């Protein structure tokens, strides 16, 4: 049995949730500028997340839920996750996005558990404040805690991510794969692809996963 751990945005789904929410209030450029500052190393991730969230202040919970339910899955992602779970594996997503999009992904992909951040609401309106449970640094800590809780060795952990912010997550896995990376993770993963059918095929060919009709299950 394996523990499969996925980043969410641009890994299981194409959605980049904060920019999509920013489009609802005409703040796409402002959110994009903060994101670029984080990528360039001018601000840290947590500071950038709080700054971007402040720009979304005033959105209603209903608006955020509607956006969260409009998921755009990466090709093959849903069938791959369903296959993993049908073989008895555990599947988890760990995202820096808010709980609403994580819960939508849990329902869509039938995932065992999700870890995410929290938007704070008053009378059904987003205050701009957030509770941070997940950051690039804590992604690795969460994987270690899950492995200890469920009894997985490092070699039994698969991890999937799309960018350098996922390196702490990927480094906790026996096998790490890059999804939609544009080459950014070539030094951190064993295989990069844009399609989960290719990822599934590679994992079977390498013997990391076993075909469904083989003896025993991963």
Q: What are the structural domains of the chain?
A: 3-14+73-205 (3.40.50.1000)
> pLDDT tens, 170-201?
999 999 999 999 999 999 999 999 999 999 99
For 44, the 3-state DSSP assignment is coil
Q: What is the Cα–Cα distance from 21 to 41, expressed in whole angstroms? A: 24
Q: What are phi and psi of 57, to 5 degrees?
A: -55, 135
User: How is residue 179 written in tokens?
Assistant: 């999804």
* Average pLDDT along the chain: 93
pLDDT of the residue at 156: 97
**What pTM was computed for the model?**
0.93
Q: CA-to-CA distance for 197 and 203, rounded, in angstroms?
A: 10
pLDDT tens per residue, range 119-148: 999 999 999 999 999 999 999 999 999 999
pLDDT of residue 37: 83
Can you give the pLDDT of all 218 residues of the chain as single tens digits? 999 999 999 999 999 999 999 999 999 999 989 988 876 678 899 999 999 999 999 999 999 999 999 999 999 999 999 999 999 999 999 999 999 999 999 999 999 999 999 999 999 999 999 999 999 999 999 999 999 999 999 999 999 999 999 999 999 999 999 999 999 999 999 999 999 999 999 999 999 998 875 534 33
Residue 42 is predicted with a pLDDT of 85
pLDDT at 99: 97
CA-based nearest residue to 69, from 91, 101, 44: 101
Q: Which are the contacts of 29, defined by CB distance < 8 A and separation ≥ 6?
A: none
């Amino acid at each position: 049995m394996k523990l499969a751990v996925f980043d969410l945005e641009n890994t299981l789904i194409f959605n980049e949730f904060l920019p999509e929410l920013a489009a609802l209030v005409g703040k796409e450029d402002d959110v994009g500028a903060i994101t670029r500052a984080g990528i360039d190393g001018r601000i840290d991730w947590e500071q950038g997340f709080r700054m971007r969230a402040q720009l979304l202040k005033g959105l209603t919970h209903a608006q955020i839920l509607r956006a969260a339910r409009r998921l755009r899955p990466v090709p093959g992602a849903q069938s791959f996750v369903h296959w993993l779970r049908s073989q008895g594996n555990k599947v988890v997503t760990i995202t820096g996005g808010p709980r609403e999009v994580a819960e939508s992904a849990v329902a869509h992909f039938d995932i065992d558990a999700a870890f995410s951040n929290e938007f704070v609401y008053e009378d059904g309106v987003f205050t701009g404040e957030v509770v941070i449970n997940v950051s690039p640094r804590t992604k690795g800590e969460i994987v270690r805690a899950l492995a200890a809780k469920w009894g997985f060795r490092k070699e039994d952990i698969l991890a999937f991510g799309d960018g350098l912010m996922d390196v702490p997550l990927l480094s906790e896995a026996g096998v790490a794969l890059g999804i939609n990376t544009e080459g950014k993770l070539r030094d951190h993963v064993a295989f990069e692809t844009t399609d989960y059918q290719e990822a599934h095929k590679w994992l079977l060919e390498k013997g990391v996963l076993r075909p469904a009709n083989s003896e025993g299950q991963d």
